[in-house]
Chains A and B, each alone.
Chain A
Amino acid sequence: MTESVPGIWQALLQSGEAMATEADYEHGYSRRLRDDLVRMVSFRLGSEIHAVPIRKVREITRCFAVTMVPRTRGYIRGVGTLRGELIPVLCLASRLGLPAAEVSRRSRVLVVQIDSDVFGLLVDEVLDVVSLEPESLREPPSVLGGAGSVSRDFVFALARKEGNLLIVLNLATVVDPEDFVAPEWRKGPGER
C-alpha cells in the first residue's frame, strides 16, 4: 500500500506560485512578491543535489511496491500501482549514470507528469522547495565536472542556493519513453 508524506510537502505543492520566499521573510511582507520565480523541488541523489520544476511534480510519496518489467533498460525499476493508476518507476540515479539508488527510509518517489503521462522517479531524499530567480540559472558548462557528473543532455541549468550547487534536470530528456525498452527488444518501425 502506498502512503503519502503528510504535511508540509503536500501543502507546499498545493500552495501555488504566490508562496513567500526566504527573501520575503527577510524584508517583511510589505515587499511585492515576485511572480516570475521558478519554484523547484530539490532532492538528493547520492551526494549531488538535483531539482525539477515543481509544476511537473504531481505528488511525492514514499516508495511503493513495483513489479519488474522484463526486457527494459536497467534504470526502469518497474511498474507500480498508485491508487489504481499504473505508474512506471525509474531509478533516477541510474538513469543519470550515477550509482543505482538503495531504497532507504528517506527514499521517495517523485510522481511527475509530462504532458498527460505520469512517471515515478525514485530519489534518495527530498530536501526542499526552493524559489529561484530566473537570472540565477546558469547554462551548464559544456563539460560538467566537480559537483556534477551528469551528462549535459539531462541538465537544464545550474543554480546556486545557499552555497550548494543545484542541478536542474531537463525532464523531457531524462524521461524518454522511447528509451524504456532494452535496445535488443526494440521493434523497428512498422512492426508490431
Chain B
Amino acid sequence: MTSQLTAISEIQDLVEAFSRSLLQIESERSEGGESDPDLVNAAFRAVHTLKGIASMVEVDELVVMSHELENCLDDIRLGKRLLDTASLDLLFAAVELYTASLAHAVDPSRPVPDVSSFLSRLKETGAAQAAPTSTEEEVSLDWLHEDVRSVLTEYEEFRLRENIGNGKGIYSIHVSFDLLDVDGGIERLKTKLKTLGEVLTYLPSADASRDDRIDLDILVGSANEFDLLRETLKGEAASIERLNTGGPSVAHEAAVPAARARESTRPERASAAGGVSHQSAPTAASARAGDASEMTAVSLESEQQSKVAPSPAAAPAPGAAPPPQSIRSVVQTVRVELSRLDALMNLVGELRVIQGDFARTISRAEDTLRTVPEVKMLHHQTRQMARRIDELRDRILDVRMVPVGQMFDTLARVVRKLSREHGKDVRLVVSGEQTELDKLIVEELSDPLMHMIRNAIDHGIESVDRRSAAGKSLTGKITLTARQRGNSVEIRVEDDGAGMDWLALRERAVLKDLVSQEEAEVMTASEALRLIFAPGFSTLDDLSQSSGRGVGMDVVKTNIMRLSGQIDVESEVGRGTTFRLTLPVTLAIIQALVIKGGDQMFCVPLGSVLESLMFDRSEIETIEGFEVISLRSEALPIVYLDRIFGLPPVSKDGQLYVIVVGLAEHRVGLVVDDLLEQKDVVIKPLGPGLDMVPGVAGATEIGAGKTVLLLDLAAIVSDAVRDFGAGDRRRMEVVRT
C-alpha cells in the first residue's frame, strides 16, 4: 500500500501550495488589481488533490475539512460565492488547521485540532453572503464546436462564459511542439499568453501523421486586438483565429482545426445531465459514422465490461507499435530521503580519495616511465576523471538544494497572523525567494528566522498611533531578503520599526551585571547592540518597551553558529533594525583549509576563516594577560592550536601563521604552524564517544587513507571568548571588529 509517509509529505506540499496561492491572492487584492482566477483555481486544486489523498490514507479530519473547503473554493471559482476578507481569513485559518492536523497525524500525542468549529464558521460565512449572484444570463456557446464544448470541464466552461460576458474576445491558437520540447515550449508560450489574457483550456489534437510532435489548440480569452496577439506570438509558429466577435453566436468551425471533427455520440445526454443549456444542434461538421459510435461508455454500476471495439485494420496492433524507449517514464519528481543523498555523497568523497591515490601513483610512474606514452595518457585520463567526479558531486549537491521561498511563505503567514494579533499593520516584502540553500540548512533556519520576525512584530514595529505620531507610513514593513554571495547565502531581516537604543541596552547590561559600569562606558554602539546575543541578557519575564528586542536572541545565535553561520545586527533608533545572517550554501561537503598544528594536520571550514595572515612573533602584545595582535589597528586576541589541544609545540623562528576566524560576532586569531592547502572535503561524524570531544567537529579522509580532524571553530572560539571574559572583569567581549 501507499506509504503513509509519501501521502503525508505530499499533503504537506499541497498545504504549502494552498497557502502560497492564498498569499498571492491576498497580495493581489491589497494592490487592488484584478484577481487572477488561476490563483483561486490553484487553491481549489490543492485542496481537491489533498482530499483525494487524505481519503485514501483515511485521515478523517482532513477529509471532512477538505471536503467543505473544496466546496467553498469550488463555489468561489465558479462565481457562486464571493471571496471577501472574511472568507480569506477563514482560508488562512484552514492552513493553520491543516498544519495542526498533520502534526497530529504524524504524532498522535499532539493536540487534536478543532475542525468542527472551523467548519461551522465556514458555513456561517457562506450563509452570511448574499445569495449566489446570479450572473448574466447564459451566454450562448453555440458558435463553439460541440466537440470542444463537450470536453470543457465545468470550470473551464464557466471561465469561458465569464470572458465572453466581460466582452473579451475568444481566440483559438494552434501550436505544434516538438515532442521533446513540450515542457519548455508550453512554459514559454504560457508566459506570453498570460500577458494577453486568460488561458481557458489546452486541447490536444490527435494528428496521427506526426508522432514526434504534439499539436494543441489553446483557447484564450483576451481584451486585446487580434494584431497584438499576433505580434506577441510572433516567432512561436502559432496560428491564431478569433472565434467570437465580442458577442455570442458567431459560428466558427475553426475551433477544431487540426483533426477531423468527431461528433459526440450522445450530445443530448451530455447536455441534459450537465444541466448546461447549450444547444446540442449538430454543427457543420457532420458525424463520421463508424468512427465514434464504436465508443461505448460503460457505467460501473451496471457491472458491464467495456466493449472495446476491435481495432480497425488500419490501426497498428497493440504492441506492434514501434515505441522507442526514449521517454518511458516521465514522472518528473521523486522524493529522496536526505540520508540516501548523504550515502551518495560519501561514495563520491571516497571516489575522489581513490582518484587522488590513483593520480599520485601515476605521477610517480611518470617519474620513472617518462618515455612510455601510455603513462602520459593515464595522467590525462585521471584528470578527466577528477573533473567528472567533481561534476557528480556538484550534481548531488544540487539535488539537496531547495529555494528559500517555501520557508518565506511560512514566514509570510506568521507575519499575517501576528500582526493581526497585535493589531498592527505589517507588510512583509520578500525578495530572492529563488536563492537556494541546502535542505538541512533551510530546515534549521526556519526557527531562528521565525523568532526574529516575531521579535520584529512584537517589539520592533510600533503601533499605528505611534507610527502616525512619528510621521511614518502607517503600514510597518519587514523586508526579508536572500541572496547568494559566492559560497554563502546572506539573509537579511529588516524592519522599519522603532529600532534599538544602544545606550539603553548598555545600561541594561550593567543592571543585569553582565558588564561593569566602566566597561559599559567605553562600549561602542555596535558592541552594545551585540549584547542582545548574550545569554541571559533578555528574558521573557522582563520585557520592556525600550529594549525588549533581544528576547531569545542568544538561542538564535547558537542556532546560526551551529550552521557555521554568522549573525550581525545594525539598528538605529526610530529607523529600524537589520539582522544579517551569513550561511554556507551547504553542509554535506565543505571547502576546508588544511592546516598544521603541533605537527598534526587539521582542517577548518573555509567559510569560517575570514583571512589568514603571517605574523612575526615580535608583533604579539599582551593586554591584561591576554595575547593579542594588532590587525588593522584593532586588537585581535589569539589562541594557539597546539596549546589548546595539548600538542607538542613546534619551534618556529619568528614567523607564525594566524587564521582569523569569525563566528557570529566574535573574531579570534588561531595560531597554527603552517597553512597547507585548500580543498573540498566530505565531513563525517566521529561516532559515539569521540563526537563528545570539544573542539573537534568531525573528520575527513585526505589522500592515502589519511584521516584529518575537522576543528569545531565554534567551540574553540567560544572557549576562547569565555577565557578572555573570565576572572573579575566579567566582560562580554574584548574584540572589536
A interface footprint on B673-712 (CB within 8 Å = 1, 0 otherwise)? 0000000000011111110111110010100111111000
Tell me the total A-B contact number using a CB cutoff of 8 A.
94
Q: Does B350 contact A (CB under 8 A)?
A: yes
- A67 — which chain B residues lie within 8 A by C-beta? 600-601, 699, 706-709
B704 touches A1 (CB 8 A): yes
CA A67 to CA B693, docked complex, whole Å: 14
B350 touches A68 (CB 8 A): no
Tell me the nearest residue of chain A to B351, going by C-beta. A84
A117 touches B687 (CB 8 A): yes
Stretch at the interface among A136-144, A147-155, A176-184: A176-184
Shortest B592–chain A CB gap in Å is 15
- B685 — which chain A residues lie within 8 A by C-beta? 86
Q: A84-B701, A88-B690, A180-B689 are in contact. Are A69 and B696 (CB under 8 A)?
A: yes
Shortest A113–chain B CB gap in Å is 12
Tell me the nearest residue of chain B to A66, going by C-beta. B707
Q: A65-B707, A71-B646 are in contact. Are A86 and B684 (CB under 8 A)?
A: yes
- A86 — which chain B residues lie within 8 A by C-beta? 684-687, 699, 707
- A176 — which chain B residues lie within 8 A by C-beta? 689
Q: Does B645 contact A (CB under 8 A)?
A: yes
Q: A86-B684, A117-B688, A186-B692 are in contact. Are A71 and B645 (CB under 8 A)?
A: yes
B688 touches A181 (CB 8 A): no
Shortest B213–chain A CB gap in Å is 49
CA A1 to CA B705, docked complex, whole Å: 5
B707 touches A185 (CB 8 A): no
Q: Report A64-98 residues with CB < 8 Å from chain B CB.
A: 64-72, 76, 78-81, 84, 86-88
- A185 — which chain B residues lie within 8 A by C-beta? 693-694
B694 touches A79 (CB 8 A): no
CA A87 to CA B686, docked complex, whole Å: 8
CA A78 to CA B601, docked complex, whole Å: 13
Shortest A111–chain B CB gap in Å is 13
B689 touches A70 (CB 8 A): no
Q: A86-B687, A88-B687, A117-B688 are in contact. Are A72 and B699 (CB under 8 A)?
A: no
- B346 — which chain A residues lie within 8 A by C-beta? 84
B705 touches A81 (CB 8 A): yes
Q: Does B647 contact A (CB under 8 A)?
A: yes
- A192 — which chain B residues lie within 8 A by C-beta? 692, 694
- B701 — which chain A residues lie within 8 A by C-beta? 81, 84
* Residue from A68, A178, A179, A186 within 8 A of B600 (CB atoms): A68
- A2 — which chain B residues lie within 8 A by C-beta? 705
Q: A65-B707, A84-B701 are in contact. Are A70 and B692 (CB under 8 A)?
A: no
Tell me the nearest residue of chain B to A115, going by C-beta. B688
Shortest A85–chain B CB gap in Å is 8
- B695 — which chain A residues lie within 8 A by C-beta? 70-71
A69 touches B350 (CB 8 A): no
Tell me the nearest residue of chain A to B597, going by C-beta. A70
Shortest A68–chain B CB gap in Å is 6
- A179 — which chain B residues lie within 8 A by C-beta? 689
Q: Does A161 contact B (CB under 8 A)?
A: no
Q: Does A105 contact B (CB under 8 A)?
A: no
Tell me the nearest residue of chain B to A88, going by C-beta. B690
B690 touches A65 (CB 8 A): no
* Residue from B357, B600, B686 within 8 A of A79 (CB atoms): B686
Q: Report B642-687 residues with CB < 8 Å from chain A CB.
A: 645-647, 684-687
Tell me the nearest residue of chain A to B354, going by C-beta. A84
Q: Does A27 contact B (CB under 8 A)?
A: no
B694 touches A65 (CB 8 A): no
* Residue from B347, B349, B693, B705 within 8 A of A65 (CB atoms): B705
- A178 — which chain B residues lie within 8 A by C-beta? 689
Q: Report A32-79 residues with CB < 8 Å from chain B CB.
A: 64-72, 76, 78-79
Shortest B327–chain A CB gap in Å is 36
- A186 — which chain B residues lie within 8 A by C-beta? 692
Q: Does A187 contact B (CB under 8 A)?
A: yes
Shortest A159–chain B CB gap in Å is 29
Shortest B676–chain A CB gap in Å is 15
Shortest B735–chain A CB gap in Å is 23
* Residue from A64, A70, A118 within 8 A of B647 (CB atoms): A70
- B696 — which chain A residues lie within 8 A by C-beta? 69-71
A70 touches B645 (CB 8 A): yes
- B646 — which chain A residues lie within 8 A by C-beta? 70-71
* Residue from B693, B699, B706 within 8 A of A70 (CB atoms): B693
* Residue from A69, A76, A87, A88 within 8 A of B709 (CB atoms): A69
- A64 — which chain B residues lie within 8 A by C-beta? 705
- A187 — which chain B residues lie within 8 A by C-beta? 692, 694
Shortest A69–chain B CB gap in Å is 6
- B350 — which chain A residues lie within 8 A by C-beta? 84
Closest 7 interchain pairs by CB?
Answer: A177-B689, A180-B689, A70-B645, A177-B688, A67-B707, A84-B350, A81-B701
Q: List 29 A-B contacts (CB under 8 A).
A: A64-B705, A65-B705, A65-B707, A66-B707, A67-B600, A67-B706, A69-B686, A71-B645, A71-B693, A71-B695, A71-B696, A78-B707, A79-B707, A81-B701, A81-B707, A84-B347, A84-B349, A84-B353, A86-B686, A86-B687, A86-B699, A88-B689, A176-B689, A177-B689, A177-B690, A180-B689, A181-B689, A185-B693, A192-B694
10 new A-B contacts, CB < 8 A, other than A69-B709, A187-B692, are: A1-B357, A69-B696, A70-B645, A71-B693, A72-B690, A84-B349, A86-B699, A176-B689, A185-B694, A192-B692
Residues of B near any A CB (own CB < 8 A): 346-347, 349-350, 353, 357, 600-601, 645-647, 684-690, 692-696, 699, 701, 704-709
